Every structure is written in structure tokens, then in C-alpha cells.
Amino acid sequence: MAALVVRGVRDLLKRAGFATIPRRQRHKKKWASTEPKFPATRLALQNFDMTYSVQFGDLWPSIRVSLLSEQKYGALVNNFASGDHVSAELEQLKARDFVNEAIFHREPEPENSQTAAPSPASWACSPNLRCFTFTRGDVSRFPPARRGSLGLMDYYLMDAASLLPVLALGLQPGDTVLDLCAAPGGKTLALLQTGCCRNLAANDLSTSRTSRLQRVLHNYVPQDVRDKNRVRVTSWDGRKWGELEGDTYDRVLVDVPCTTDRHSLHEEENNIFQRSRKKERQMLPMLQVQLLAAGLLATKPGGHVVYSTCSLSHLQNEYVVQGAIELLDNQYSIKVQVEDLTHFRKLFMNTFYFFPSCQVGELVIPNLMANFGPMYFCKMCRMT
């Protein structure tokens, strides 16, 4: 019976055009000849081990274990939704407002200091921001945010280091502001919390990401603020912004797409280390230079730009800043000056760990005692 079944299957295969191959002529691939299929998270770790061990030396083992460990968050208080009761509730959890604590305890520079004083613009922090974190070594979690009496969420959970680029931008009342790569929306929300934006343009090329941004704005910002032309959400190619709205904005935030190092080690979905995205990953620094150049071109002479990434890579950080500055000088005869943020690092050194050897800008490195970041940010002034 079994022989009849086998013969019937062979006949069926022949009629369908599938000729059987004699066993001695069949080729079986050896397992070692096939390329191993590593998950993207593992490929990311291999890449970081090769590059960051050279870049950071003895610091890399500590950064590595921190990146692979649970991230620490901050709670950005929603000024549109609550009075002081939310801050009081967060204080009861033993959390502290790291922004106002740092500014309140800021030590003045000694009068006989030999170092050059930073400009007033570089000293300035964007105002009215309240963000609570747990102290170093405390791995407590914040409870999920709730809707207050106005129907808006009380606070927004984010990597507290993500607030530093917004603080460094130094917004002033009445500023026109551009957030060039705005989604998913945490920094956009923080910009609005300052109360300084006369108009805010929030852009992101991806329509799916701008949908997430719209949800954040809907959940945290009153409709009248969103409707009175104070917030404009677009999905344009940010590289062309200098052509679209050149010499327009007082302050520009350029928080570019990057390798998102922590995400790349923990999530397979949308991981830039997938083999199919290799070329996209290699082209990132070029894209970043183009976006930063566009942001600088969109800034008024005398205005300020902050460039930021959530990557440790100097190729995506300092090198991009230097490349964009050279591009504007050579092609547009526009001079850009990098602001010294050493004082800024000192201001927040009790909350974050900073890499001590950046050529330009500042870099928050993950540390198990304060597992924020990575977050690179550099402030620039367009001089001409």
C-alpha cells in the first residue's frame, strides 16, 4: 500500500513538471555554508563593541552594561494641565525637580576667574520647565500619568536627558521656533511648556511619526493653543527647510534621526541595524549634515540652533557639527559659532554623567547609577 502511495506521488509530480532527482545527485547544503541570521539587536551590539570600545576606551564596559540595563525616566510636568499638586505628588514619591534644583543652587562664577565668561545666550536655560527624576542609584519607576480636571495628562514620561537640548536652546518670550525633526513629540511638548513660543513649527518627514506627534499634542496641549496658529505640524523634507523658510526662526532644534543606540539594543522592530537597512545606516551622517545645515539656514542671523542625537557615535555627533559648519562657510559664506556648554555640564552634573572629552558639544553617557541617555547636544549661533 505504501509503495502505491509513493508511486502515485511520483506520477503526480511528473505530470506537474517536477522531475525527481536521484538521491546520489542531490546536493544538501551544509549548515556552515549558510550565513547566520543574527537578530538586529545582536548586530547592533557587535557594531558598538567594535567602534565604541575604541572611542571610549576604559569607559566602554560601564556604558555597555548600562545600555543593556533598564533605562531611567523623568516626569515632565504638564504646565497646561496642573497646578502645584502634581509636583507635590511627585515629591511624595521622593522624586526631585532636577531642573529648578540645579538652577536654584547654581554657583556664580568667581570674579577673578581666568576663564572666558560664556555669553549670556549660552548661559540661558529655557524657562518654566519642571522635570522630576529619582536620585542617583534609585531605580524606582513613575506610575502612569493620569488625566487631570481639564482632560489633559498630568506629566509626560521621557528620558530626562532628552530635556537638555531644549534647556540649552535658551528660549526667550516671543521666540519663533522650529523643531525640524519633531516626532514622536517629547521635545516639541517641552518647547511648548516654556510658554515662550510665539509660533512653533513642528516637522517630521514620516507621516506615521507625525501622527504620534499629533496624539501627544492632543493629550497634553489645550485645543486653543493648538488652533491659534501657534503650533503648525508638517511632514516636509527637512533638508529643504532652508529653501522653504530661510532666515526665519529665532530658535531651531535639530534632533536628527540616528542609530538610536539604546533602542537598537532592545527592539527588533524598526531597528536600523537590520541587514536590509545597512545602506541607510551608512548614509546617516550625510543626512544629519544636510538636516543641520537646513536648520542653520532657517535661522535668523543672530539666532540659535541646538543639534542633538541619542547616539554615542562621534561620526553622528561632533563630526556632523563640524561638517555642517564647513558646508555653510564654503557654500553660503555663513559663519556659525559653537557655544561653550561647559557651564551647562556643571549645572546638571549631579543628575547626569557627561563624557569629559567631547571636541564640541556635550554628551550624556549611560551609567548604572543614573541610567539616562545617551544624549548628545551642541548649541550654535548663526553669526551672519
CB 204 within 8 A of CB 139: no
Is 187 marked as binding a ligand? yes
109 vs 104: CA distance, rounded Å: 14
Active-site annotation holds for 310: yes
Is 185 marked as binding a ligand? yes
CA distances, 177 to each of 33, 107, 209, 245, 253 (Å): 55, 30, 20, 12, 8
Is 204 marked as binding a ligand? yes
Is 154 marked as binding a ligand? no
Is 183 marked as binding a ligand? yes
Is 237 marked as binding a ligand? yes
175 vs 367: CA distance, rounded Å: 35
Q: Which long-range contacts (CB under 8 A, 24 or more apart) does 51-59 make?
A: 51/313, 52/312, 52/313, 55/312, 55/313, 55/314, 56/312, 56/355, 56/365, 59/355, 59/365
- Annotated active-site residue in 125, 196, 258, 310: 310
Is 186 marked as binding a ligand? yes
Is 175 marked as binding a ligand? no
Pick from 344, 267, 351: nearest CA to 306: 344
Beta-carbon contacts of 60 under 8 Å, excluding residues fewer than 6 positions away, are 52, 53
Amino acid at 302: G
Q: Is the peptide bond before 184 cis (omega within 30 degrees of 0)?
A: yes
CB 13 within 8 A of CB 21: no
Buried/exposed code over 242-260 (b: 16+ C-beta within 10 A; e: otherwise)? beebeebbbbbbbbbbbbb
The three three-digit cell numbers of residue 123, written as one number: 548661559
In the numeric block, the cell 536655560 is attached to 125
CB 266 within 8 A of CB 69: no
Work out whether strand 249-255 and strand 375-382 pair parallel, antiparallel, or are unpaired.
unpaired
Q: At 20, which helix (H) or strand (E)?
A: none
Q: How far apart are the first and last CA of the chain?
A: 90
Is 184 marked as binding a ligand? yes
CB 353 within 8 A of CB 370: yes
- Binding positions for S-adenosyl-L-methionine: 181-187, 204, 237, 255
Instruction: Please list the active-site residues.
Output: 310
- Binding positions: 181-187, 204, 237, 255
